[in-house]
Amino acid sequence: QLQFVESGGGLVQPGGSLRLSCTAAGFPLDNYAIGWYRQAPEKARERVACIYMRGDRATYADSVKDRFTISRNNAVSTIYLQMNSLKPEDTAVYHCAPTACGILPDRTLLEFDMWGQGTQVTVSS
């Protein structure tokens, strides 16, 4: 059964850091570009970062550029999101999903319906 599993979230003070992890049961993560997405209360889900299949390129939303870093370790089929200099506006539930990094609008946002439970990130003092 296909299941995306996100972990690593938590409560952190502004300026702090967290590292999120994404794995998937029943899905070959290694063969796909993967995006990290977030959804804040009463806001639309947005893509914040995307990494190509081989891990040699990545894209970022302007709101997280220079603060977040996406990476992958295909040997253990895991995608990471290192989040530094966190701000209260980063508070959201974070999900991962396959996507096409270079295609906009993001089709995963439009069509994907197998979201995992996500991991909650709360940035607050």
Position 26 confidence tier, pLDDT thresholds 50, 70, 90: confident
pLDDT at residue 12, rounded to an integer: 98
78/3: higher pLDDT? 78
DSSP letter for each residue of the chain? --EEEEE--EEE-TT--EEEEEEEETS-GGGSEEEEEEE-TTS--EEEEEE-TTSS-EEE-TTTTTTEEEEEETTTTEEEEEE-S--GGG-EEEEEEEE-TT-SS-HHHHH-------EEEEE--
pLDDT in tens, 38-83: 999 999 999 999 999 999 999 999 999 999 999 999 999 999 999 9
pLDDT at residue 3, rounded to an integer: 86
